[in-house]
Amino acid sequence: MFNLATIYDIAKEAKVSTTTVSRALNNHSSVNHKTRKKIIELAEKHGYQPNSKAKSLATKKSWSLGVLLIDDSDSGLNHTLFANIINSISKTASKRGYELTFLSKNLARSTVSYLEHANYRGFDGVIVANTNINDPHVNELIKNVKFIACIDQNHSNAICVNYKNRDGMEMTLNHLFSKGYRNVIYIHGQLDNYVTQERLIGFKETAKELNIERKCKYIEGEYTSPQKAYDITRRIIKEGLPDAIVYSDDYCASGGLRCLREHGINVPKDVAIMGYDGVEISSLITPSLTTIYQDTDRIGEVVTENLINSIENNRSHGYIIELPVSLILGETT
């Protein structure tokens, strides 16, 4: 880029001080109408743009938000649910005038922690969207950043916007039960993950209420993927089919579905299956998935609005917002 005009150039040409230029350009009331007009004209003539660094340096406000997505595996934006959420966060941030920047562990020529990146950059706030709970850097970040919001996490000092994970599993199991399925296998995510824990609680409590605890089985999918789900499903087929299989997300369910079909097993006649998330693919595959819909537009909007409000009101304290989920009836149950 070329050398851009500064406030000095304009001040000189308008024969006023930089203060006046600054005031005119920032809509301070106390500027003579004519002076203001002249300054604004000159600014346009020169295509003047303020310099964000100088401005932030002076005001201590960056108009930028950091967002943390796990970055050391492929589960960042490649997971549709999170891509959709980030899309919504980005839109909402933009609507409020904030930029969105990804947090990272590499900066210039060195390796840093997320907290160091955040401090270096001076974000006005940070959103933790999807992350590896075992990374101590994530905890350090959440504990030490003043304006912080999380999705599907549990931290007392952060704004936590979570889906009602327990409700989701309650709906799942009640639905299966109402359709007559009793023996259910739940292929869940990693146990050290908050979401998994909540869903398991929801599942187990409902199983107890329905009095089918004994008929339910759990398999930890660890790192889940369509292929992994495919493999687990094959094992299940060998060991004997249950009435229904619940997968940790729609992608896994689609992998499982493919396996079942390849083995000539009819869904839902021979076995029912359910996904989770309600991302686009759930309605595009055949048979379409019965799944739990999580509104990604809504969660992105809520988490971003709440964070920005807390920044602009300068009130930082943790609280929880829970967002409802709903069941989408597909052809697999």
Partner DNA sequence: CTGTTAGCGCTTTCAC
Partner DNA sequence: GTGAAAGCGCTAACAG
CB of 41 vs a copy of itself, minimal distance in Å: 17
Comparison of 51 and 286: residue with beta carbon closer to DNA: 51
Please identify, among the stretches 43-51, 163-171, 238-246, 302-310, the one whose residues bind DNA according to the rule CB under 7 A: 43-51
Which pair of structure tokens corresponds to residue 34? Answer: 């004519």
Which residue from 29, 78, 111, 314 is in contact with DNA, where contact means CB under 7 A? Answer: 29
Going by the DSSP 8-state scheme, the letter that residue 27 receives in this structure is T
Distance between CA 39 and CA 21 in Å, rounded? Answer: 6
Which residue from 34, 109, 269, 315 is in contact with a copy of itself, where contact means CB under 8 A? Answer: 109
Distance between CA 173 and CA 152 in Å, rounded? Answer: 21
Could you list the beta-strand ranges (E) of the chain: 64-69, 99-102, 106-107, 110-111, 125-130, 148-151, 159-163, 184-188, 216-220, 244-246, 272-274, 291-293, 319-323, 326-328
Comparison of 143 and 179: residue with beta carbon closer to a copy of itself: 143
Check residue 108 for interaction with DNA (CB under 7 A): no
Check residue 173 for interaction with a copy of itself (CB under 8 A): no
Check residue 30 for interaction with a copy of itself (CB under 8 A): no
Peptide bond into 268 cis (omega under 30): yes
Per the CB < 8 A criterion, the answer to whether 124 and 66 are in contact is no
Burial class (CB in 10 A: 0-12, 13-18, 19+), 112: middle
CB of 257 vs a copy of itself, minimal distance in Å: 8
Give the Å distances, CA to CA, from 164 to 52, 169, 199: 39, 9, 9
Distance between CA 66 and CA 233 in Å, rounded? Answer: 39
33 makes contact, choosing from a copy of itself, DNA, none, with CB < 5 to 8 Å by partner type, with: DNA
Please identify, among the stretches 4-12, 128-136, 185-193, 249-257, the one whose residues bind DNA according to the rule CB under 7 A: 4-12
| Amino acid occupying residue 326 | S
CB of 181 vs a copy of itself, minimal distance in Å: 23
Which residue from 1, 12, 13, 17 is in contact with DNA, where contact means CB under 7 A? Answer: 17
Q: Taking the C-alpha atoms of 98, 102, 105 and 106 in order, what is their torsion angle to the nearest 10 degrees? A: -90
Please identify, among the stretches 10-18, 79-87, 157-165, 182-190, the one whose residues bind DNA according to the rule CB under 7 A: 10-18
Per the CB < 8 A criterion, the answer to whether 127 and 67 are in contact is yes
Binding string, residues 52-91; x marks residues near DNA by CB under 7 A: --xx-xxx--------------------------------
Distance between CA 108 and CA 264 in Å, rounded? Answer: 55
Helix or strand (DSSP H, E) at 53: helix 52-59
Nearest to 326 by CA among 97, 134, 100, 167: 167
Binding string, residues 218-257; x marks residues near a copy of itself by CB under 8 A: --------x------------------------x--xx-x
CB of 170 vs a copy of itself, minimal distance in Å: 28
Comparison of 47 and 180: residue with beta carbon closer to DNA: 47
Check residue 57 for interaction with a copy of itself (CB under 8 A): yes
Which residue from 21, 86, 185, 292 is in contact with a copy of itself, where contact means CB under 8 A? Answer: 86
| Amino acid occupying residue 216 | C
Which residues of this chain interact with DNA, rule CB under 7 A?
3, 6-8, 15-20, 22-23, 25-26, 29-33, 35-36, 48-51, 54-55, 57-59
Which residues of this chain interact with a copy of itself, rule CB under 8 A?
1-2, 4, 47, 49-54, 56-57, 62-64, 71, 74, 76-78, 80, 83-84, 86-87, 90-91, 93-97, 99-102, 104-110, 116, 118-122, 144-146, 226, 251, 254-255, 257-258, 261, 280-281, 284-286
